[in-house]
């Protein structure tokens, strides 16, 4: 099979977007070495980057239109319609012509528009319209499939794929962030983009009220600010000033692995998610985990973590106290972490059916 992949986030973008793009294509290459894979990049790679692509056995082309919606809906459409590809694979925005597969990450901008800026809602608005033209529609979870259908009755997801955990994170040699001066087990951790939906203000307020954090046992926040942000109460601001709450911004993979492996508690109180990789990463690396009582986390994490109402500061306060004073729940015997290999097998199986792939080209 000859597949043209959307590589908008190959070099730059949200960390999760970069990880998913690379891991998906890498797993596809390992599992189906006979396939011809091409990634559509928004800039030409450097000599070193081009050599890395060649080592991976991945071809590349350059795209020129200025935004991901235009690149996918127009440019990838023309490439697959008139080029040597069986199918074009888009992230969020489906190509409008030819055989196409699209992965729609979530419909949160439809179910909860208040969490997004006006510009974000405008930018996301073509996603579901373009998805109607896709030959195959992938989603990450059963929970998100139900949300998409509820808001877009004309769409029928083809398959639920899940996401794996980055191999670079699992294989990393953990290194403590040198500027933070942290000891193993002496800090609480949260990871993710700092916006309204991530509900960080509630988590920080609860942590301060719990009296479980201090300059010697800080609440560490990893992630860049973006989107609609919350205001923080005065006690939280004071905790930031005295070092009880510490923002790291971006950390490299080795440092993130160390934080996951050595935190006393990982807290993720997002108001909702299409998937939610950070709690899975934390759990996989051995951290006790506290998450929001939401269907997506019940689907992904089962009874392996603790839950609380993310809108109730008192409930979160008590949950933090409980988590820090008791042993975490054990992993259920039948619990399985999702994998990239399972993801790409699910996708290729759907894309290989005669209904979706042009019969004039090989589908081996």
Q: What is the DSSP string of 213-241?
A: -BTTB-EEEES-B-SS-PPPPHHHHHHHH
Tell me the whole-structure pTM to 2 decimals. Answer: 0.90
H or E stretch at 88: strand 87-91
The CA distance from 294 to 299, in Å, is: 9
In this prediction, residue 179 carries a pLDDT of: 85
In this prediction, residue 301 carries a pLDDT of: 95
Q: Are 299 and 259 in contact (CB under 8 A)?
A: no
Region 30-42: mean pLDDT is 97
The DSSP code sequence of 241-277 is HTTSEEEEES--HHHHHHHHHH-SEEEE--S--SS-H
Q: Which class does domain 167-325 fall in?
A: alpha beta
CB neighbours of residue 36 within 10 Å = 17
Region 105-109: mean pLDDT is 96
Report domain extents, the chain. 2-164+340-352, 167-325
Asked whether the predicted pLDDT for residue 260 surpasses 70, the reply is yes
How do residues 3-24 score in pLDDT, each as one tens digit?
999 999 999 988 888 999 999 9
What the block records as the tokens of 308 is 């609380």
How do residues 312-324 score in pLDDT, each as one tens digit?
999 999 999 999 9
Asked whether the predicted pLDDT for residue 58 surpasses 90, the reply is yes
What the block records as the tokens of 125 is 């608005």
Torsion 169-174-177-182 (CA) sign? positive
The CA distance from 203 to 41, in Å, is: 38
In this prediction, residue 364 carries a pLDDT of: 31
Torsion 305-307-313-319 (CA) sign? negative
Q: Which CATH architecture has domain 2-164+340-352?
A: 3-Layer(aba) Sandwich (3.40)
Region 150-156: mean pLDDT is 94
In this prediction, residue 362 carries a pLDDT of: 31
φ/ψ of 284, rounded to 5, equals: -60, -30
Within 13 Å of residue 14, how many CA atoms lie on the same side as its CB?
A: 11
Q: How confident is the model at residue 286 (pLDDT cuts 50, 70, 90)?
A: very high
Region 51-73: mean pLDDT is 96
Asked whether the predicted pLDDT for residue 359 surpasses 50, the reply is no
In this prediction, residue 50 carries a pLDDT of: 96
Asked whether the predicted pLDDT for residue 363 surpasses 50, the reply is no
Check residues 194 and 105 and name the one with the higher pLDDT.
105
φ/ψ of 9, rounded to 5, equals: -105, 30
**Domains 2-164+340-352 and 167-325 alike in fold:** yes
How do residues 177-192 score in pLDDT, each as one tens digit?
988 889 999 999 999 7
Q: What percent of the chain has pLDDT over 70?
A: 95
How do residues 191-202 score in pLDDT, each as one tens digit?
977 778 899 999
Q: Are 87 and 135 in contact (CB under 8 A)?
A: yes
In this prediction, residue 352 carries a pLDDT of: 85
Region 257-280: mean pLDDT is 96
Average pLDDT across the chain, whole number:
92
């Amino acid at each position: 099979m000859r597949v043209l992949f959307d590589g908008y986030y190959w070099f730059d973008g949200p960390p999760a977007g970069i990880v998913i793009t690379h891991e998906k294509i890498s797993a596809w290459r390992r599992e189906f070495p006979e396939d011809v894979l091409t990634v559509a990049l928004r800039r030409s790679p450097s000599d070193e980057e081009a050599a890395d692509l060649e080592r991976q056995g991945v071809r590349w082309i350059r795209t020129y239109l200025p935004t991901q919606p235009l690149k996918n809906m127009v440019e990838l459409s023309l490439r697959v319609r008139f080029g040597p590809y069986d199918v074009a694979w888009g992230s969020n925005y489906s190509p409008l012509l030819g055989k196409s597969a699209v992965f729609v990450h979530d419909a949160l901008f439809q179910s909860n528009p208040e969490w997004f800026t006006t510009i974000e809602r405008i930018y996301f608005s073509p996603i579901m319209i373009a998805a109607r033209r896709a030959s195959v529609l992938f989603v990450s979870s059963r929970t998100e499939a139900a949300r998409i259908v509820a808001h877009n009755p004309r769409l029928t997801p083809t398959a639920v794929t899940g996401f794996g955990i980055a191999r670079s994170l699992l294989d990393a040699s953990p290194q403590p962030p040198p500027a933070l001066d942290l000891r193993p087990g002496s800090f609480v951790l949260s990871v993710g983009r700092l916006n309204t939906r991530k509900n960080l203000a509630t988590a920080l307020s609860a942590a301060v009220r719990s009296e479980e954090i201090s300059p010697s046992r800080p609440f560490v926040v990893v992630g860049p600010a973006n989107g609609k942000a919350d205001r923080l109460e005065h006690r939280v601001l004071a905790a930031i000033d005295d070092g009880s709450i510490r923002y790291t911004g971006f950390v490299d993979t080795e440092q993130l692995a160390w934080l996951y492996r050595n935190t006393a508690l990982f807290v993720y109180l997002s108001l909702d998610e299409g998937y939610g990789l950070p709690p899975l990463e934390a759990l996989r690396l051995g951290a006790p985990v506290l998450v929001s009582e939401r269907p997506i986390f019940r689907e992904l994490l089962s009874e392996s973590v603790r839950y609380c109402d993310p809108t109730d500061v008192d409930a979160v306060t008590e949950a933090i106290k409980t988590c820090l004073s008791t042993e975490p729940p054990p992993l259920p015997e039948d619990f399985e972490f999702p994998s990239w290999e399972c993801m790409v097998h699910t996708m290729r199986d759907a894309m290989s059916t005669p209904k979706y792939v042009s019969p004039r080209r090989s589908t081996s």
